[in-house]
A and B are shown apart, each in its own frame.
Chain A
Amino acid sequence: MMEEKRTTKRLQANTALRQVITDFYEDAHRAKAEGRPVGWIPPMNGLIELFYSMDIHPIFPENWAPLCAAIGTNTSNFAHAARRGYSSDLCGYFRNNIGYALDGITGENQPLGGLPEPDFLISFGAGCIPTMKTFQVLCDHFDVPVFKADLPQVAMEDIAPHHIQYGVTQIKRLIEFLEGLTGKRFDIDRLRQAVAYTDEACRTWDEIMDARRAIPAPFSAAEIGIMFVMVTRHGTKIAVDFLRDVLVEVRGKVERGEGVIPDERLRLFWDNIPLWYNMRLFNYFEKWDAVVVAETYTSAWTMRMDPDRPLESIAYKSLVSYPMVSCVSLNKRIELIKKAVSDYGVDGAILHSNMSCKPISMGQLDIQRVLRDELSVPSVMFDGDHMDAGKFSMAQFQTRIDAFMEMLLERKGMR
């Protein structure tokens, strides 16, 4: 058996990222301490720009979950959820977040100081069922004002003016709610600025991702943590500055021909959410001089925002982010993967069949067939879970991946 290599070529940006993460949670606690409102909201929507433009600190339980998995507090949160009667078949984000919010939040010595309790909540509609249900549980638990946001699930290729218009209606309702809550007037120019930051962040994000077309690839999926700013700091200069630094670093690597693997032999595509408790898994491919150069999940930020139409832009973002990477838009998702395979020169695809995420996992068997029949790209699927290590077997993963990688090398005449 080949020996596992340990990568030493992580991006320098990871040092800055650690500070960005720390700052985000420190800011939240500071806001709470200073009496500025903290709102807990679902991820991947245009509310974040609105919040930052109104000096409201957003908290994303879904973003807290990967941190819990990385730190290892997910298992105690799962236990809290189980004691409350929630099935272990439910999404790991859901079980972690409600376990944490209902019981874990009162624990001592929490990493990053834990989450500040919400002053208000945004529920429900839009996103997947586990996200919707997470917020329903939170709304039932916390005795705080609740805004019922509403956004239908529409395949992104079907988004029509009436969908955008309805989204704008919802945002206007929310603005009224937030004005009432904060006693501050909404300023559309500040929202325009926030939207401009997001647009710039998305543009820079695309450039960073484009840099991975280079051979050797300057970074792998192991660096997916940089996505933190796309989830939590959209609408701010923090995201733009961080990503610009990442872009400079990545381009420098490309210019110098520095790759994750110096003698890169295989380029891989990763479908579905990573295993947040085992990010080193991405390094496992390095013993075959293989690197994951593109993923489905990172495509969720490939969009443009128009600062001149800020309400429409954040409505569109709210409508499109979830369908883009889920089975709501299966055909679009397949198109996206086909394009990535071609753009990034992918030799093989790894599909994480993720027990915690039906919307992203459903359709993977179709994706495999398209890869095989239309693109002649081999793929392998393994069973796992993005939050729950108990639903992933490293031994089974290795058995499948080892055989798959040997086959890819054979196919390229590299054995």
Chain B
Amino acid sequence: MRVMGRPPLSFAELSERHRDIISVERSRSDRLVVGTMCSYVPVELLHSFGIQPVRIWGQSDDPGKADALLQTFVCPPVRHLMALGLEGRYDFLDGIVHCYTCDATCGLFNIWVRNLRPRFSHLVSLPYTAIDEALAYTMAEFGVLIEKLESFTQTRFSPESLGSSVALYNEARALMKNVYNLKGRGLPISYVDMHAMNVCSQVLPVEAFIAYLRDYLEAAKWTGPASEKRRRFLLSGSVITDNALMAFVEGLGVEIVADDTCLGLRLLQGAIGEGEPLESLARYYLTRPPCASRADFPSRKSYLVETLAEHGIDAVVFVHQKFCDPHLSDHPFLKGVLDEAEIPSMQLELEGEGFTGQARTRIESFLEMLETR
């Protein structure tokens, strides 16, 4: 891989080892590394200051040492991330930035800052609508972050530098969208690989990631399409990280061709427009398809319905984390939307034990049910 100066690693290997890779890179370079807790953090701004943004999140299993700081009725990924922080797995971070989305992650951000005491921390508060005044507000809100970053990095904000960063992230997102498109057209790309790509987009330097993506797409061109036509699934939820679950679903003769999660296709929709970079950036974050914590029902419905049609979805698997207020609250409504569209769906609720035998049985039953339709 270019980052390491070694033979190329797969997305899966890179994503698996990303913390170690970044930790080693951090010790070799003076580039600041800042953790981000949510996809709404404007990483382009951090990048324009020469900072390497690294998304951090927890798995749905083994919350480990979080008990000292978080109650057991907080969702497993938040507890797991706190545990990773307490174990020192993110000691290489120079700071942390969050954007208010769900209550649990906001609580985590404040508890993280109090207990792990990063050198830099900031909470971005975005509005929930995209009216003109919201744009002005968002630019002012980004302005507060810029001011703090100037002080932290001792570097002046540069619109040109932001423009360059925006161009890089736009390119990365467009290339990633191509990978989704190729899979949608039937190329044998596993969703596990695609998920690993999504993870890499959040944790690797964007320059290296783009180079990797180009190679990946070039190689994919020479791959023939899969011969059999398979059912097309959409995964919906917050942060879905269970590779075993994804592999299991696809192993049952299904293609996961789209997702509606905090780490996938939704982040690739649209591009940051041309024009004044800060204003374009603000507009992008306000108009991106919203997550459960920021959307009202009509917005979630319209995005879901569009995605179902665009990707020819046959069925939806909701993967929810126990105690996840935004997604558990939305589920009955979204299920109603799917029922109306006569698209079958199932809901898995992960309880901090990862992908269990019970979940396997339920997925198998769901597939059997689909066979009989």
Chain A residues with CB under 8 Å of chain B are 84-87, 89-91, 94, 123-125, 128-130, 133, 136-137, 139-140, 148, 150-155, 158, 160, 162-163, 165-166, 169, 173, 326-331, 353, 355, 358-359, 361-366
Contacts and interface: CB of A to CB of B under 8 A. Distances in A.
B240 to A, nearest CB: 18
Identify the interface centre among A130, A165, A326, A362: most chain B CB within 10 Å of its CB.
A362
Interface of B: 68-71, 73-74, 100, 102-104, 106-108, 110-111, 114-115, 123, 125-129, 131, 133-134, 136-137, 140-141, 144, 293, 296-297, 322-323, 325-326, 328-333, 335, 349
B68 A365 contact: yes
B114 A327 contact: no
Nearest to A329: B110
Contacts of B331: 85, 87
Contact of B71 (A160, A329, A364): A364
A331 B127 contact: no
B328 A90 contact: yes
A93 to B, nearest CB: 11
Nearest to B333: A140
Contacts of A162: 136-137, 140-141
A328 B106 contact: yes
Contacts of A94: 329
B128 A362 contact: no
A331 B110 contact: yes
A154 B128 CA distance: 13
Contacts of A150: 127-129, 131, 134
Contacts of A353: 71
A72 B329 CA distance: 24
Contacts of B114: 330-331, 366
Given A87-B328, A133-B325, 11 more contacts: A85-B331, A90-B329, A129-B293, A150-B127, A150-B131, A158-B123, A165-B137, A331-B114, A358-B325, A359-B106, A366-B69
Contacts, number: 142
B328 A359 contact: no
B325 A90 contact: yes
A85 B332 contact: yes
Contacts of B332: 84-86
A329 B109 CA distance: 11
Contact of A362 (B107, B322, B333): B107
A324 B317 CA distance: 38
Identify the interface centre among A94, A148, A150, A359: most chain B CB within 10 Å of its CB.
A150
Task: Name B's interface SS.
Answer: helix
Given A152-B125, A162-B140, A166-B134, A327 B103 contact: yes
A330 B108 CA distance: 10
A322 to B, nearest CB: 10
A140 B134 CA distance: 24
19 contacts: A86-B328, A86-B332, A89-B73, A89-B322, A133-B326, A137-B297, A148-B129, A150-B127, A150-B134, A152-B128, A160-B140, A162-B137, A162-B141, A166-B134, A328-B106, A330-B114, A361-B71, A362-B107, A363-B111
A84 B328 CA distance: 12
A65 to B, nearest CB: 16
Contact of B329 (A86, A166, A169): A86
A125 B129 contact: yes
Contacts of B297: 136-137, 139-140
B349 to A, nearest CB: 8
Nearest to A84: B332
Contacts of B131: 150, 173
A153 B100 contact: yes
A185 B106 CA distance: 40
> 6 tightest A-B contacts by CB?
A362-B107, A125-B128, A85-B332, A133-B329, A162-B140, A152-B125
B192 to A, nearest CB: 28
A362 B71 contact: yes
Nearest to A326: B103
Contacts of A169: 133, 137
